[in-house]
Structure 1
Amino acid sequence: MHLKVLTFNIHQGRGVDRKLNLQRISNIIKTTNADIIGLNEVDRYFSERSNFMDQALYLANELNMEYVYGPAVTIETLGTKNHRQFGNALLSRFPIVKSHNHPFDFLPRVMENRALLEAKVNVGQQEVTAFVTHLSLAPFLHKKQSTFILNEIVKCEGPAFVMGDWNMSPQSRTWRKVTQSLTDVWTEHNRGNQRGYTFPSTRPFRRLDYIFVTKEMKAIESKVITLDKKASDHLPLMATLKLV
């Protein structure tokens, strides 16, 4: 069975033209026909910058998908249950059986908090574990976060993959560590001039967004989606995976 997965840092739906437009994000995802989508920088009642919207809910409704949300930042708001949140989300055509959010609290309140969102998804007759994450720019935290992610993936039984904005370069020390146990879907299929650059979206020259898979999954295609380069400061990355 083939599975299309997409990772996309949506920058709260605010494009490089500074316009807040979640519909552009929805249109891109819809056109790719992806089955499971990992989103970074998703606001939930956060502030005026995103009109206090629950962005994950909006996109799930637009795309007719199930979803789970994993906050990296939560600011309690007095007098309301709708706390201000910022983090990751996962959308799925397939049933989401359960989910768990893993906050990275190595240096709370010192640096911007990050998190790892984990979801169990029923794909046909098989359960697949999907992770969505967004790692820190700080080297010390980046190292600890990547180690935490690898330790969580090791616990998985059956096929698993992790996707998101890793804020790292291919062939970096962390990338080499990750690819000792996981496969980078881009390097599996693209050579030569196909660099997989996703940032900045209008004139990309850095590969920051990745999809890594365990040995129970095989990547048969991967590509950067360039349908609308103004919708976010990142371009989405998509892969077609096969359960083996």
Structure 2
Amino acid sequence: MSFFRAAGAVTMAAVLAFTPVSASAHPAALRVLNYNIHTGIGADGKLDLARTARAILGTGADVVGLEEVDQHFSARSGYADQAAELAARTGMHVFFAPIYDLPPEQGHHDRRRYGVAVLSRFPFLRTENHQLTRLSTVDPNPVPAPAPGFAEAEVRVRGERLHVYATHLDYRPDPAIRRIQVAETVRVLDHDGARAKQLLLGDFNATPAAPELAPLLRRVRDAGPPDPTYPAEAPTAKIDFVTTSGGFRVRDAEVPVTHASDHRPVLAALSVR
């Protein structure tokens, strides 16, 4: 979720338009994408997960962090298992890390889950769903409490073991919860050790200059361009990130132009040292 709001409609031509980093220009690059998919609902307000999958495939990404992913959650996403469907449509492995795990709606049998996910062309060696302090958006009287939804997936790329994280920080204008989440995120990253190769992907719901992000952006390197990512139709704020730690070189990076979500994705072509 984001405290920003998008509005208006776009044409199908605009929905399908994007300008990915050239795969031929960097044949050995690891292509890393972060994308808040808005549960498959585009900037035009229409649910179309096939369009989301096309946007991901069009970037040629090898590893993807996803936010706002539904699993049998509600009518807004057709009660689909979006993580499994995107894995099938992209031909990638998937690890889904729910934030919420709720009983089925009346008349349905599957539990309702919502969270983040990692897609990868490389098999997972290990996965974990870490906790962060959150203010629930489904509890009418929320209080700060630990909750899951901070995904970690380990993969092996060209002989190197990489830790891939996907996260979604608090969306509220008050930075208090994000400040706590940043401290907790740094502690989780530090647990891997100073020499670990890490990719932290996510919707941070704050711009790079936000004071509450400072400890995190000292711990990791922003590998994305300065271009804004939100709202998708006419972005004004960079709140979506691909960040690295532990020995990556950024070859190229961009924000592909697509309206398959209310956010635009962030793509970075990286060398693994």
The whole-number CA distance in structure 1 between the counterparts of 2:55 and 2:104 is 33
Is there any run of 5+ residues in structure 1 with no aligned partner, and where? none
Task: Give how far 1:199 is off.
Answer: 0.3
Aligned match of 2:166: 132
The whole-number CA distance in structure 1 between the counterparts of 2:217 and 2:268 is 17
Aligned match of 1:217: 248
The answer to whether structure 1 residue 205 and structure 2 residue 236 are counterparts is yes
Identity across matched positions, percent:
30
1:179-194 matches, within 5 Å, as 179-186=217-224, 190=225
- SS state of the match for residue 219, structure 2? coil
- SS state of the match for residue 234, structure 1? coil
Given that 1:60 and 1:91 are in contact with CA atoms closer than 8 Å, whether structure 2 keeps it comes out as yes
AA paired with 2:239?
L
Given that 1:114 and 1:136 are in contact with CA atoms closer than 8 Å, whether structure 2 keeps it comes out as no
TM-score (structure 1 length as normaliser): 0.90
Aligned match of 1:143: 179
AA paired with 2:32?
V
Aligned match of 2:117: 89
The whole-number CA distance in structure 2 between the counterparts of 1:111 and 1:202 is 34
Task: Find 2:154's aligned residue among 116, 120, 144.
Answer: 120
The whole-number CA distance in structure 2 between the counterparts of 1:23 and 1:163 is 22
The whole-number CA distance in structure 1 between the counterparts of 2:63 and 2:77 is 24
1:23-62 matches, within 5 Å, as 23-62=50-89
Task: Find 1:232's aligned residue among 232, 257, 261.
Answer: 261
Cα separation, partners in 2 of 1:207 and 1:106, compared to 1, 3 Å: closer
Given that 1:40 and 1:165 are in contact with CA atoms closer than 8 Å, whether structure 2 keeps it comes out as yes
The whole-number CA distance in structure 2 between the counterparts of 1:163 and 1:15 is 21
The whole-number CA distance in structure 2 between the counterparts of 1:111 and 1:196 is 34
Given that 1:199 and 1:206 are in contact with CA atoms closer than 8 Å, whether structure 2 keeps it comes out as yes
Aligned match of 2:90: 63
- SS state of the match for residue 179, structure 1? helix
1:2-21 matches, within 5 Å, as 2-21=29-48
The whole-number CA distance in structure 2 between the counterparts of 1:114 and 1:10 is 19
Task: Give how far 1:155 is off.
Answer: 1.4
Aligned length: 235
The answer to whether structure 1 residue 172 and structure 2 residue 183 are counterparts is no
Task: Give how far 1:179 is off.
Answer: 2.1
- SS state of the match for residue 218, structure 2? coil
AA paired with 1:238?
L
The whole-number CA distance in structure 1 between the counterparts of 2:88 and 2:95 is 12
The whole-number CA distance in structure 2 between the counterparts of 1:77 and 1:86 is 13
Task: Find 1:154's aligned residue among 190, 198, 201.
Answer: 190
The whole-number CA distance in structure 1 between the counterparts of 2:158 and 2:212 is 33
Given that 1:4 and 1:35 are in contact with CA atoms closer than 8 Å, whether structure 2 keeps it comes out as yes
Is there any run of 5+ residues in structure 2 with no aligned partner, and where? 1-27
RMSD over aligned Cα atoms: 2.0
TM-score (structure 2 length as normaliser): 0.81
The whole-number CA distance in structure 1 between the counterparts of 2:148 and 2:125 is 24
Q: Which moved more, 1:73-82 or 1:49-58?
A: 73-82
